[in-house]
Chains A and B, each alone.
Chain A
Amino acid sequence: MMPDKSLLVVIPAMNEAATIAAIVAKLRAQGRDVLVVDDGSTDNTADIALQQGARVMPLVNNMGAWNATQAGIRYALQHAYQNVVCMDADGQHCPDAIAGMLNYSQQQQADVVIAAFPARGGLAKKVTWTFFKRLSGLNINDLTSGFRLYRLPAMQELARTRATMLDYQDVGVLLILQNAGLRIAEMETTMQQRRDGKSRIFSSWLKILYYLWYTTLLCFSKRTPIK
């Protein structure tokens, strides 16, 4: 299988020393270009990534997963990549799916492919995602999957200053893409278990409440395109 050299895999990472080596190694074995964006790690994530053959973008200030991803997208544009796949550093996303995502995007003529995972979580989560799906007007089932393929038009849209001020990479990013008239497709995939089992975004009730409030306000204010 000839690797697509117009593709850059962007992995935002903060303190993922335990899991980063395996992912980078696997991607490099596939012959892919990998950029690990070191979002202010205090462990040796960056060193490990370098050893395994990734390029590392060190960020002076921690800026969160979305801004780190955006930094990777800006880098990709600067280096004339035509596609970016972003994925998590914690081992949940399987590099084998990437080829499928590229094919799917051709098939569906989509600018964005979301690797969608089967609905997980209890009733509360299901209600929440249905709520946000309605409120945002996004016709997407897996709003939060960070495993996505962005093709050039999507990359250009997301690199803009206007796309910078987002606390999360889910609804906000998708709204920007939708408002720009880009085509988003979802592809079913299987997920591997998160190795350490802890979510960072929903690690406390306070954070959950903040997320709920933030995303609700986001939907109200950014649902329609800004002229």
Chain B
Amino acid sequence: MPPLYVLISGAIGLVTAMAIIYLIRRDHLHIRYALNWIIIAIAIALFGINPQIIDYLSDQLGISYPPILAVVMAVCFMLLKLLLNDIQLSRQERQLIRLTQRLGMLEADRDTQVLPAGRKKN
């Protein structure tokens, strides 16, 4: 019977993976973003079942407190993801502005200028 921590982290990894698949099926999460989360699910399962990997890596890198390596790796991963999010946000904002401008150009050209109803804030 494997140690408890192996079972727990293995279970968490598995449940995460299943949750991602479910979210994709229901179109709550687009597949493009799911890749990020599947990697996390795999990492949880992998490092949970084999914590020796962290010990080995710490040894190689000269880190005296192995658990912090896992934390540092997680933080780096999150920072990178945040940056990618901001880049994505910038792109979408630009698209939204261009689109709104195009719509404005259309609406400015109506022969009878009737301003759209409900343009005031609620």
Question: Is the Cβ of A161 less than 8 Å from the Cβ of B94?
Answer: yes
- Taking a contact as CB atoms closer than 8 A, the residue among B90, B96, B108, B120 that contacts A57 in the complex is B108
Question: Is the Cβ of A50 less than 8 Å from the Cβ of B121?
Answer: no
- CB-CB under 8 A from A61, the residues of chain B are 96-97, 100
Tell me if A83 counts as interface (CB < 8 A to partner B).
no
Residue of A nearest to B116 (CB): A58
- Taking a contact as CB atoms closer than 8 A, the residue among B93, B108, B116, B119 that contacts A75 in the complex is B108
How many interface residues does A have (CB within 8 Å)?
Answer: 25
Q: How distant is the Cα of A67 from the Cα of B97 in the complex, in angstroms?
A: 7
Give the interface size bracket for B toward A.
Answer: 20 to 34
**CB under 8 Å from chain B, chain A span 129-176:** 161, 164-165
Tell me if B81 counts as interface (CB < 8 A to partner A).
no
- Taking a contact as CB atoms closer than 8 A, the residue among B93, B98, B104, B121 that contacts A58 in the complex is B104
Q: How distant is the Cα of A161 from the Cα of B99 in the complex, in angstroms?
A: 11
**CB under 8 Å from chain A, chain B span 55-104:** 90, 93-94, 96-98, 100-104
Tell me if B115 counts as interface (CB < 8 A to partner A).
yes
Say whether chain B's binding surface is mostly helix, strand, loop, or mixed: helix
- Taking a contact as CB atoms closer than 8 A, the residue among B94, B105, B119, B120 that contacts A71 in the complex is B105
Q: A35-B108, A56-B115, A58-B115 are in contact. Are A67 and B101 (CB under 8 A)?
A: yes
Tell me if A78 counts as interface (CB < 8 A to partner B).
yes
Question: Is the Cβ of B113 less than 8 Å from the Cβ of A63?
Answer: no
Q: How distant is the Cα of A42 from the Cα of B121 in the complex, in angstroms?
A: 6
Question: Is the Cβ of B105 less than 8 Å from the Cβ of A164?
Answer: no
Q: A42-B121, A50-B115, A164-B94 are in contact. Are A59 and B105 (CB under 8 A)?
A: no
Tell me the minimal C-beta distance from B77 to chain A in angstroms: 26
- CB-CB under 8 A from A40, the residues of chain B are 119, 121
Interface string of A188-227 (1 = CB under 8 A from B): 0000000000000000000000000000000000000000
Q: How distant is the Cα of A165 from the Cα of B86 in the complex, in angstroms?
A: 14
Tell me if A60 counts as interface (CB < 8 A to partner B).
yes
Question: Is the Cβ of A75 less than 8 Å from the Cβ of B100?
Answer: no
Question: Is the Cβ of B108 less than 8 Å from the Cβ of A42?
Answer: no
- CB-CB under 8 A from B90, the residues of chain A are 165
Tell me the minimal C-beta distance from A102 to chain B in angstroms: 24
- CB-CB under 8 A from A38, the residues of chain B are 115, 119
- CB-CB under 8 A from B108, the residues of chain A are 35, 55-58, 75
Question: Is the Cβ of A60 less than 8 Å from the Cβ of B98?
Answer: no
Tell me the minimal C-beta distance from B96 to chain A in angstroms: 7
What would 17 more interface pairs be, CB under 8 Å, given A42-B120, A74-B101, A161-B94? A42-B121, A46-B115, A47-B115, A55-B108, A57-B108, A58-B108, A59-B101, A61-B100, A67-B101, A70-B101, A71-B100, A71-B101, A71-B104, A74-B105, A75-B104, A78-B105, A164-B98
Interface residues of A (CB under 8 A from B): 35, 37-38, 40, 42, 46-47, 50, 55-61, 63, 67, 70-71, 74-75, 78, 161, 164-165
Interface residues of B (CB under 8 A from A): 90, 93-94, 96-98, 100-105, 107-108, 113, 115-116, 119-121
In the assembled complex, 16 residue pairs joining A and B whose CB atoms fall closer than 8 Å, in A order, are: A35-B108, A38-B119, A40-B119, A40-B121, A56-B113, A57-B104, A60-B100, A60-B103, A60-B119, A63-B97, A63-B101, A67-B101, A71-B100, A74-B101, A74-B105, A164-B94
